[in-house]
Structure 1
């Protein structure tokens, strides 16, 4: 039972994930780079994503431990493994999962070859987010109890959580407003299908002994879990189908919100580039199928240690505890904020070639110059209910031909110090295929990996 409680604490405390896409960011041969910077320097006449195949991505990360630490077949008792994991993690360690799938996408240039009226892009994608801060004190109490922790204050505020399934309609516009400056913006309508949110929790459990060998037990709880799109499934008479509800939610039938992306690309000189973007500056109002559970109150017991989970052993104490720490169900609307992401990069291009036939995969303000190679660095920051998450990436890009481009990255973040990534974009006629993968060293034994991610997609692209 303790194993079950621990795993529940480990995987049910959820929040939104670190969504760094360092391989995709500023990889302008791939149309989906516009989703990481609406001001990216893309040069397409038009493009269309192959429905359900144009953008598929998955990211799984853990900063504190790996699956191998818990489930290795090494003869070590599972309870021992649990305690080892607890001993080397803190309440700032993170578990995360992010999945995205584009349902459709496209974009086209406004104006003819002699005009520059900007570029319009649009689409719809589905996203699932999961991130858990390690509830260390709660997990320790669940496994060991408080017998060996007299005088320790177990922090219930370790539980800070969100999980969400949503769809996003978006439309973006970007324009070259000067020869060396491109700016862009993207408006988003969020439709939340399912949400569970438990943040800003507080409380503690504290046990101490008095001089006459009696115990004093103090419990203060200020916990709340907000949910939307889930309450109807608690009704035994509910006849709705989950698949139907998901389809309805994707098509703006869920709880709605609004967001904004902003970005720019600037060239101080032809082969030197700076970019920046702010992604998902937005919120969602939860008003439909809302149900919240609060567990709030204060309890102070002096005497023998009561068995709060056994009504027959200490009925009076147990009832006093339930009366003091009240479990209540509410039906009030609430608002959640999207995890806002900030990107910034600097890039130096070299291996210059002059374009003769007028068709190139150019970067820079001068369309007659083509650079085969580039090196750069990128900073990524994402907001969370606790401290922001950071990642720093260095990269090298190379164009081997008009049809094949590659990007290699090295990233330092909260999850790994050995994150090597590699991405490739190919083009056969108008068909563009790309595949990007991080943490390549971990694929030798993924059970020991602290982070894994990949992205792939298929588009039809016509360049200028």
Structure 2
């Protein structure tokens, strides 16, 4: 049973999904790029996203062992591979998943000038965000037991997890101040459907050689799990209906506020610098809240096999009752309904971009100045706050406008998952209908079970463009 229980823990904690959308970032032909930088360039007069199809996003990977490491048909004993996988990872390896579905979106240009240099965008999307760090000491304790780890201190803070299902309504404003500078900001209202938060665990467990028995077990624990939106699902599941879920999506859940800011600065005609700060915000959880905590210190030296009556007259039955009460006092969680606040994971993007390659006219073999550049290359940095340490990724990319209505972007990313992440994205227009498809880590598709990360984004929009070159 030990290997099975440990593998379940391992499987839940070794896969990781990142929120980095390095292919979409700066891809200005696609309206959803404004979600990643509200101060990005805008190339349309107005658009609306095809409901439920305008942006579908999910990506994943592992910062530690992969499924292939444990299940590969390589002749090595399963228990050995499981032990190696546990030893390979540390408490900062993490499991997470991020998925987004845009429910509706739109945007339009306005302004006093002929150019209409201001732009308003809006939308509603659903997002699932889960992160759980690999509980290394818990896995070792489950796999090896405490008898083989005398005097080893097992840390309770190795277990750290947060899971949240939210909807986000947003309105963004973008202004092109002049041909060299554009800025923007976006306001957000969060509605949390479900939240589980256990990121403040502290304490230790250690087994020592005992004086009165073989072993002395020492517990010093401070564990906490905070939840919202769960109790009504588990206790009244028969009464929970689709309309209740719809109500939570449309501001009926636990509410919060946030904002995004960003800018784009043309340093020269060919060099551009941009940056954005996303999801600076919080959610206050006051509805359907139930919190659990375990606090206490306890030394347990095992059970005395002879139950002699003490000078106080304690019987064997009373002895057993005392042990039971001590364990219940330590390990039975206290339950409260206290309101709590969670902060959204802040994300930072910045890139430096060099554009080159003017389009030439066939008739006169001359450069068409107003068409812009056909190529761009650059570097993008992504960083994201997380409970234990930030996630960071560096991407090199090449963009090419192949011909009217078709553009492509290739990327190479170095992050906590791998050093060989190659990806590709395309944006195609058929009339006023825009379609985009993006994926990365192509080199690892030959053995998906050993992939460090995979990613997919796609969507459909109806766009009325400014430029028809």
TM over 0.5: yes
Which residue of structure 1 lines up, in the alignment, with residue 301 of structure 2? Answer: 302
Structure 1 residues 340-349 or 131-140, which shifts more? 131-140
**Cα pair 2:16 2:63 within 8 Å, conserved:** no
**Cα pair 2:392 2:416 within 8 Å, conserved:** yes
1:96 to partner: Cα distance:
1.8
**Cα pair 1:298 1:325 within 8 Å, conserved:** no
Q: Which runs of 4+ in 1 moved over 6 A?
A: 11-16
Which residue of structure 1 lines up, in the alignment, with residue 356 of structure 2? Answer: 350
Distance 1:246 1:5, change over 3 A: farther
Which residue of structure 2 lines up, in the alignment, with residue 229 of structure 1? Answer: 229
CA distance in 1, matches of 2:183, 2:304: 65
CA distance in 2, matches of 1:264, 1:305: 70
* Cα-to-partner distance string for 1:321-363 (whole Å, 9 max, x where unaligned): 222344111111111111000000000000023799xxxxx9x
Pairing of 1:65-464 with structure 2 (within 5 A): 65-111=65-111, 114-210=114-210, 214-235=214-235, 238-241=237-240, 243-302=242-301, 316-353=322-359, 368-464=370-466
Which residue of structure 1 lines up, in the alignment, with residue 365 of structure 2? Answer: none
Distance 1:5 1:305, change over 3 A: farther
Which runs of 5 or more structure 2 residues have no equivalent in the other structure? 306-316, 363-367
Count, aligned residues: 451
User: Superposition RMSD on alpha carbons, in Å?
Assistant: 2.6
Secondary structure of 1:157's counterpart equals: helix
**Cα pair 2:233 2:240 within 8 Å, conserved:** no
Distance 1:402 1:95, change over 3 A: same
Structure 1 residues 239-248 or 259-268, which shifts more? 239-248
**Cα pair 1:295 1:328 within 8 Å, conserved:** yes
Which residue of structure 2 lines up, in the alignment, with residue 33 of structure 1? Answer: 33
1:208 to partner: Cα distance:
1.2
CA distance in 2, matches of 1:134, 1:261: 31
1:368 to partner: Cα distance:
1.9
Secondary structure of 1:34's counterpart equals: helix
**Cα pair 1:161 1:199 within 8 Å, conserved:** yes
CA distance in 2, matches of 1:119, 1:305: 76
Distance 1:18 1:242, change over 3 A: farther
1:36 to partner: Cα distance:
0.5
Pair member with larger Rg? 2
1:410 to partner: Cα distance:
0.4
1:179 to partner: Cα distance:
2.6
**Cα pair 1:20 1:380 within 8 Å, conserved:** yes
CA distance in 2, matches of 1:96, 1:298: 32
Distance 1:113 1:401, change over 3 A: farther
1:250 to partner: Cα distance:
1.0
1:142 to partner: Cα distance:
1.7
**Cα pair 2:173 2:185 within 8 Å, conserved:** yes
CA distance in 1, matches of 2:177, 2:262: 13
**Cα pair 1:14 1:131 within 8 Å, conserved:** no
Structure 1 residues 273-282 or 242-251, which shifts more? 242-251
CA distance in 1, matches of 2:16, 2:71: 25
Structure 1 residues 6-15 or 438-447, which shifts more? 6-15
Relative to the length of structure 1, the TM-score reads 0.91
1:130 to partner: Cα distance:
1.5
* Cα-to-partner distance string for 1:183-217 (whole Å, 9 max, x where unaligned): 00000111110110001210111011157774221
Distance 1:305 1:117, change over 3 A: farther
